[in-house]
Amino acid sequence: MTHVEEWDPSAASLTEEHRRILTEAARQLDAGNLCLKLADQAKLKSVLFLGFSSWEKFVRADDSKTVVAWIKVLTSCEEKYSGFECGSKSPVISLARVLRKRGTYPSELSNWIKEHSNNRFLPHGSLMDRL
C-alpha cells in the first residue's frame, strides 16, 4: 500500500515562518543568489494557492518595499524551482493587487516580472477572474 498525501487548503495558513523564508530569500535574490533549502521550498509550496484575502492579511503590516521584494522572490521561485508553477492562481497576482489597492504599485515592477517569468498570467491574473 502506498502513502498518498492530501492537501487541505483550509489547514494551510501564512505564518511568521513564511515571513522569515520570504525575507531571507529576498536578501539572497538581491545578492544574485536565490538558493532556498528544500524544507523552505516545501513550506512556501504549502501556501502558494491561498487566496487574495490570506495574502492581503499576511502583508497588512508590511511596507510596500517588502511586498515588492516578496513578489520578486515568488516570481523567481516559479521559474527556478519545481512545484511553484501556479498559473492564474499565483500569489504574485494577489500581492500585486494589494499594492494596487494601496496605490503603491511601482510602474517598473510589471516589466521586471515579465522579464523574469514565463507565466502569462503575471502580474494581472486571468481576465476571467477579473470579470
Q: What is the pLDDT of residue 5?
A: 46
Q: What is the pLDDT of residue 126?
A: 80
pLDDT tens digits along 19-76: 999 999 999 999 999 999 999 999 999 999 999 999 999 999 999 999 999 999 999 9
Would the pLDDT of 122 be above 80?
yes
pTM across the whole model = 0.89
pLDDT tens digits along 72-88: 999 999 999 999 999 99
1 falls in which pLDDT band (50, 70, 90)? Answer: very low
Q: What is the pLDDT of residue 7?
A: 44
DSSP string, the chain: --------TTT----HHHHHHHHHHHHHHHTT-----HHHHHHHHTTTT--HHHHHHHTTTS-HHHHHHHHHHHHHHHHHSTT---GGG-HHHHHHHHHHHHT---TTHHHHHHHT---TTTTT--HHHH-
Q: What is the pLDDT of residue 12?
A: 79
